[in-house]
Structure 1
Amino acid sequence: MSSYKYLLLILISLIVLSCSSSKKEEIKDYEHLRYFPQGSTEKQEYYKLHLAENPSDDHAWKQRSIAFNKRGDIDTGMAYLQKAVDLNPEGHIGYRGYVKLYMMHDYDDALEDFKTLLKISSDQNPVAWGENLHKLIGLTFLLEGNYDSALTYLERGIKLTTAEFGADYVETNAFLYQAYAQFYLKDFESALATLSSVLEMDNRYPEAHFLRAKVYYSQGKISQAKESIETADKLYRKYKSETNAYYEVPFQLYQSQIDDLMGRINIIK
């Protein structure tokens, strides 16, 4: 009887070892899938298996969400991203705000995420998904029509970045957004000064020339408006405008907008 129990114990041990080895081999077999492209079936299968073994890997949860967000399956992407945020708020809430701002146009929730990051970040001038956080907050207010708050945050981001790294490290579109806020507040001279500054850094910026034409047109300075819109038209035809493969860029410029403003300018003698 004791020999039977001994043999049974050995058999059970072998089965357990076999199952454990099989599972490890299964995971090992999928390790090569991590090198497939981000949105591929293979890469998603890798994340599925990896997260089954490592459910506290917040970075992997976020990475799994990105492909879904990019292709417009926001519900699935945000469900995975929520797990990343729960595990590491400071590391991922900025990206969640980025998705809400650019892809979902959910400005109130985007502001909530951005302001939360601003509170919990150890950096006084943090970034969210590679963009200055103060600029993102300012842009969100701008798109909501809260132009005074937009200016406050945009100017703060520009000031802090300039002080820390120099003006060359300020994102060009931060100045464009600042000029738009000034334009909407009818502070035309400040808008023109801001646009002059950004065009000194990059004179091949059709969006800035287009906005300058709008400002001049609003002031009734038709000759300057005509010169600016013609420059915007020339640069747009040569370089196009800033775009993103996954969403429409705020204040993205189109040829139809240039043609419309040019027509309104040219009709005035």
Structure 2
Amino acid sequence: MEKSLIYFRIKIIIKSLFLILFAGIIILLIFIIFFLNKDRRFILAEDLQGTQLSQFMFKVLRKQYPDYSDVYHEQSVAYNKRGLYHEGFKLLDKAVLLNPKKHLGYRGWMKLEKLKDYKGAIIDLEKLNALTPNDDVQGENINYLLAISYQGLSNYDKSKHYYERFFETTDSATLNLKSIVYVNYGTLLEKLNLNQEALKQYNISLKGHFKFSEAYFHKAEVFEKLGIKDSSKYYYKKALHQYNNGSKLKDVYNEVFNELYESDIIKAIPN
């Protein structure tokens, strides 16, 4: 009887401890979600991005600090990563409204990279360029992003203008790491029937560390236009070789600008 009483008391103590622990966790969560310093809460919600807790914390922060633009921006990221652009852009638009200088670039980049909305990207990027000229957006020079946006709209003269501004405002060390820029510029020059200048750009690209399949492919195109068939065939085959070795521009999340596919190369190789 005495042993049973002892066990009963132990069970009561253990249950009480668990209840105290559970209540403590709930109180701690309430404190973190509602009362912790707003910047620390933002960092925590950012680290938990994509979870229900993160989204709830962002909603609380928006309610408590309706002018906190970073919250709208960061909450939009999880939606946009999942392709829920309608929900994501409603939040991102609010961030831009609150602080255009800080968030216009990201929205313009999103329109360019995710939506292929070249016109919308140009509007945002040109507004930002007026506020902070020649700035970087998501690690890319704004002039380059404007160049490919206009190129995507087939406004080749305007695109060429921004490519030239990009080359003028970018140091040589950075250019050496951006060999794909020369390829995209070369494709633009081809559209303007400046084939020799385009060929020069492809050659510059191939002098860099990354020997992209795209550079060989478009170089082959130029030789084909110039009627130099042997060289054209050689570089098409070289493009296929590089492609199969994984040396091509790719992004696991997006279709890249001027995306090259294996079928494009195979189709171009003459019999």
TM-score (normalised: structure 2):
0.81
Alpha-carbon distance in 1 for matches of 2:29, 2:180: 53
- Is the alpha carbon distance of 1:46 and 1:190 closer, same or farther for their aligned partners in structure 2, counting shifts above 3 Å? same
Q: Which of 57, 73, 80 does residue 84 from structure 2 map onto?
A: 73
Alpha-carbon distance in 1 for matches of 2:81, 2:223: 38
Aligned counterparts, 1:3-42, within 5 A? 24=31, 26-28=33-35, 31=41, 34=45, 36-42=47-53
| Alignment size in residue pairs | 240
Aligned counterparts, 1:32-71, within 5 A? 34=45, 36-71=47-82
Partner residue of 2:16?
Answer: none
Contact 2:211 2:247 in 1 (8 A): no
- Is the alpha carbon distance of 1:48 and 1:211 closer, same or farther for their aligned partners in structure 2, counting shifts above 3 Å? same
Alpha-carbon distance in 1 for matches of 2:101, 2:216: 38
Q: Which runs of 4+ in 1 moved over 4 A?
A: 21-26, 28-33
- Is the alpha carbon distance of 1:220 and 1:203 closer, same or farther for their aligned partners in structure 2, counting shifts above 3 Å? farther
Partner residue of 1:220?
Answer: 227
The answer to whether 1:209 aligns with 2:216 is yes
Query: How far apart are 1:207 and its partner, in Å?
Result: 1.0
Contact 2:179 2:210 in 1 (8 A): no
The answer to whether 1:93 aligns with 2:101 is no
- Is the alpha carbon distance of 1:252 and 1:26 closer, same or farther for their aligned partners in structure 2, counting shifts above 3 Å? closer
Alpha-carbon distance in 2 for matches of 1:116, 1:35: 27
Contact 2:113 2:256 in 1 (8 A): yes
Alpha-carbon distance in 2 for matches of 1:22, 1:104: 38
Partner residue of 2:156?
Answer: 147
Partner residue of 2:191?
Answer: 184
Query: How far apart are 1:25 and its partner, in Å?
Result: 6.0
Gaps of 5+ in 1: 1-20
Aligned residues: percent identity? 27
Partner residue of 2:145?
Answer: 136
RMSD of aligned alpha carbons:
2.4
Output the amino acid matched with 1:159: E
Q: Which of 109, 119, 126 does residue 115 from structure 1 map onto?
A: 126
Query: How far apart are 1:35 and its partner, in Å?
Result: 6.0
Partner residue of 1:244?
Answer: 251
Gaps of 5+ in 2: 1-27
Output the amino acid matched with 2:145: L
- Is the alpha carbon distance of 1:22 and 1:93 closer, same or farther for their aligned partners in structure 2, counting shifts above 3 Å? closer
Alpha-carbon distance in 1 for matches of 2:30, 2:255: 44
- My pick for the range that moved more, 176-185 or 50-59, is 50-59
* 1:239 counterpart SS class: coil
Q: Which of 256, 262, 269 does residue 255 from structure 1 map onto?
A: 262
TM-score (normalised: structure 1):
0.81
Query: How far apart are 1:162 and its partner, in Å?
Result: 2.3
Partner residue of 1:167?
Answer: 175
Cα deviations across residues 165-204 of structure 1 (Å, max 9, x unaligned)? 66335x3332121101001111110000011111111352
Cα deviations across residues 218-247 of structure 1 (Å, max 9, x unaligned)? 111111111111111111101152222332
Alpha-carbon distance in 1 for matches of 2:32, 2:82: 32
Cα deviations across residues 92-145 of structure 1 (Å, max 9, x unaligned)? 101111111122222222111111011011xx3211222110001110111111
